[in-house]
């Protein structure tokens, strides 16, 4: 559990395309962080609501009330669910995770993970969904316990089959990212 005596703020930005669950993924992250004891805020940003158009969602986490509601231009953590939106000049300050199904190998640097996160969601949901990025985030940034991720997913979805499928995608991506991280440290 984070030390509540410290004033820590995390800023996270998730980008993807409409229909990939970017807004839902941001809400799940904020909810899981809340259960971990953080103050949290999730805000979507999109233009015309259309499948396939760029979507951003911003998440702030802190150990005190959050009063700002501005977009996050320079996040600490950046999650990108569509590799076409990846700009190597605009990375997260601490961590960037990019879903790229075209990579045969992954790229892992101390603050950058590029891998195929959609392989699992495509298999389970027949669709590229951003929830897989949360599994990778959990592997790279373990500030939220597994039980709180699961609690957030259970609260977000009423249908138990949907809960199970989202949890499968989360865990499979967590395990994949953990293997990639451990492989580079060997």
Task: Read off the pLDDT of residues 89-114 as tens digits, 9 standing for 90 and up.
Answer: 899 999 999 999 887 656 667 789 99
Indicate the average pLDDT of the chain: 89
pLDDT over 90 at 68, yes or no: no
Please state, in angstroms and rounded to a whole number, the distance separating the CA atoms of residues 114 and 83.
9
- pTM beyond 0.85: the answer is yes
pLDDT, tens digit, 9 for 90 and up, residues 9-34 = 899 999 999 999 999 999 999 999 99
Run of H or E including 46: strand 39-46
Q: Is residue 170 very low, low, confident or very high in pLDDT (cuts 50, 70, 90)?
A: very high
Residue 69 burial by Cβ neighbours in a 10 Å radius (0-12, 13-18, 19+): exposed
Q: Which of 7-11, 86-90, 136-140, 171-175 has the lowest mean pLDDT?
A: 7-11
Please state, in angstroms and rounded to a whole number, the distance separating the CA atoms of residues 183 and 97.
17
Q: Which of 44-48, 102-106, 167-171 has the lowest mean pLDDT?
A: 102-106
> Mean per-residue pLDDT for 47-65?
85
Please state, in angstroms and rounded to a whole number, the distance separating the CA atoms of residues 59 and 72.
8
Q: Give 138's contacts (C-beta < 8 A, 6+ positions apart).
A: 144, 146, 149, 170, 174, 177
Q: Which of 2-11, 109-118, 132-141 has the lowest mean pLDDT?
A: 2-11
Q: Which of 44-48, 79-83, 119-123, 130-134 has the lowest mean pLDDT?
A: 44-48
| pLDDT score for 106 | 64
- State both tokens at 139: 């592997």
pLDDT over 60 at 4, yes or no: no
Q: Domains of the chain by range and CATH?
A: 9-185 (3.40.920.10)
3-state helix, strand, coil in the chain (%, to 5): 40, 25, 40
Q: Is residue 3 very low, low, confident or very high in pLDDT (cuts 50, 70, 90)?
A: very low
Please state, in angstroms and rounded to a whole number, the distance separating the CA atoms of residues 31 and 39.
9
| pLDDT score for 183 | 75
């Amino acid at each position: 559990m984070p030390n509540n005596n410290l004033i820590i703020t995390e800023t996270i930005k998730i980008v993807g395309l409409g229909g990939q669950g970017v807004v839902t993924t941001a809400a799940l992250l904020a909810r899981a962080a809340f259960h971990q004891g953080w103050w949290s805020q999730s805000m979507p940003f999109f233009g015309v609501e259309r499948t396939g158009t760029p979507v951003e969602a911003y998440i702030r986490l802190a150990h005190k009330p959050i009063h700002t509601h501005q977009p996050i231009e320079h996040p600490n953590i950046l999650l990108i669910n569509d590799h076409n939106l990846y700009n190597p000049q605009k990375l997260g300050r601490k961590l960037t995770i990019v879903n790229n199904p075209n990579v045969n190998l992954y790229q892992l640097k101390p603050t950058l993970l590029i891998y195929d996160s959609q392989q699992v969601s495509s298999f389970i949901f027949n669709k590229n969904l951003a929830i897989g990025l949360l599994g990778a985030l959990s592997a790279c940034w373990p500030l939220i316990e597994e039980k709180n991720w699961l609690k957030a997913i259970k609260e977000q979805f009423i249908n138990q089959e949907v809960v199970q499928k989202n949890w499968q995608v989360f865990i499979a991506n967590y395990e994949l990212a953990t293997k990639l991280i451990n492989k580079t440290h060997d």
